[in-house]
Amino acid sequence: MSKTVFDRPHSLSPVPFHYCPGCTHGIVHRLVAEVIDELGIEGRTVGIAPVGCSVFAYNYFECDMIEAPHGRAPAVATGVKRSRPENVVFTYQGDGDLAAIGTAETVHSATRGENITIIFINNAIYGMTGGQMAPTTILGQVTTTTPYGRQAAVQGCPVHVCEMLSTLDGTAYAERVSVDTPKNIIAAKKAIKKAFTNQIEKKGFSIVEVLSTCPTNWGLSPADALEWLRKNMMPVYPLGVYKDVDNVHKEEN
């Protein structure tokens, strides 16, 4: 007699990903889907896909999905959540989408304490357009638009999203995780689950920043990319919980 010990989560669509070999999007998609399954919320979840490598996320989740304009996912999520508060609404955004063109939407959905969940993929580069500088590109990092390495005096310094958002009163939860090792993947899943649970418990704006790899545009093998992430990204973007409060709308309750 056979017993299923490992299967595709129900809320992850049975279709192949378009992601490059070694890209960590697949891992994070699976973690999100596992969490949706475990919380039993697939039927009331609405996901918002960004513009960037994960633009096709609407093909990969079985819940209702919306594809938002570049950077605007938190505003779109606000519109959905404020119209139907019973829905669980999450956005899945990359660093260019969330921390460059969508900075205003990100910051202000946090200041309002929007009761939404944001999964933020930080791989320090623009993947979809072929390896340009991201707001999270680290100093010295070579990209196609920083061919001599990112210089503070020319291109400015990398943005620390969790640190920045944790200063805002509307942010209930901000944690930075990584998916470079099985241990970190387990921790990442725990954080993602908390970010969704927070929304169900009406705690307010929750964001999980996931340090991710882009072997293709980093020009590294998948294994070397993981090593590069540990060596170069983690010192700039330390893992950890940056904010975790009970309820951002206390005065109303």
How would you classify residue 52: left for phi > 0, otherwise alpha for psi between -120 and 50, otherwise beta?
Answer: left
Binding pattern for the stretch 6-45 against another protein, x by CB under 8 A and - elsewhere: ------------------------------------xxxx
Q: d(Cα 218, Cα 185) in Å, to the nearest integer?
A: 21
Q: Is 2 exposed, middle or buried (0-12, 13-18, 19+ CB in 10 A)?
A: exposed
CA-wise closest residue to 119 among 51, 66, 49: 49
Let me know how long the chain is: 253
Among 35, 48, 168, 191, binds another protein (CB under 8 A): 48
Among 12, 32, 53, 63, binds another protein (CB under 8 A): 63
Among 84, 167, 221, 227, binds another protein (CB under 8 A): 84
Answer whether 184's CB lies under 8 Å from 124's CB. Answer: no
Tell me which residue has tokens 């072929």: 130
Closer CB to another protein, 69 or 149, in the complex: 69
Query: Half-sphere exposure of residue 201, counting CA atoms within 13 Å on the CB side?
Result: 16
Among 26, 79, 149, 222, binds another protein (CB under 8 A): 79
Determine how many CB atoms are found less than 10 A away from the CB of residue 148: 8
From the list 61-69, 125-133, 183-191, 230-238, the region that binds another protein by CB under 8 A is: 61-69
Among 25, 36, 50, 87, binds another protein (CB under 8 A): 87
Q: d(Cα 243, Cα 117) in Å, to the nearest integer?
A: 14
CA-wise closest residue to 179 among 120, 134, 100, 236: 120
Among 1, 4, 16, 83, binds another protein (CB under 8 A): 83
Q: d(Cα 84, Cα 64) in Å, to the nearest integer?
A: 13
168 near another protein, rule: CB under 8 A: no
128 near another protein, rule: CB under 8 A: no
Tell me which residue has tokens 């983690």: 234
From the list 1-9, 59-67, 145-153, 180-188, the region that binds another protein by CB under 8 A is: 59-67
Phi, psi (deg, nearest 5) at residue 165: -70, -25
Q: How far is the CB of 222 from another protein (least distance, A)?
A: 25
Closer CB to another protein, 141 or 199, in the complex: 199
78 near another protein, rule: CB under 8 A: yes
Q: How far is the CB of 3 from another protein (least distance, A)?
A: 25
Binding pattern for the stretch 96-125 against another protein, x by CB under 8 A and - elsewhere: --------xx-xx-----------------
Residues 211-240 that bind another protein (CB under 8 A): none
Residues that bind another protein (CB under 8 A): 42-46, 48, 55, 58, 61-69, 72, 75-84, 86-87, 104-105, 107-108
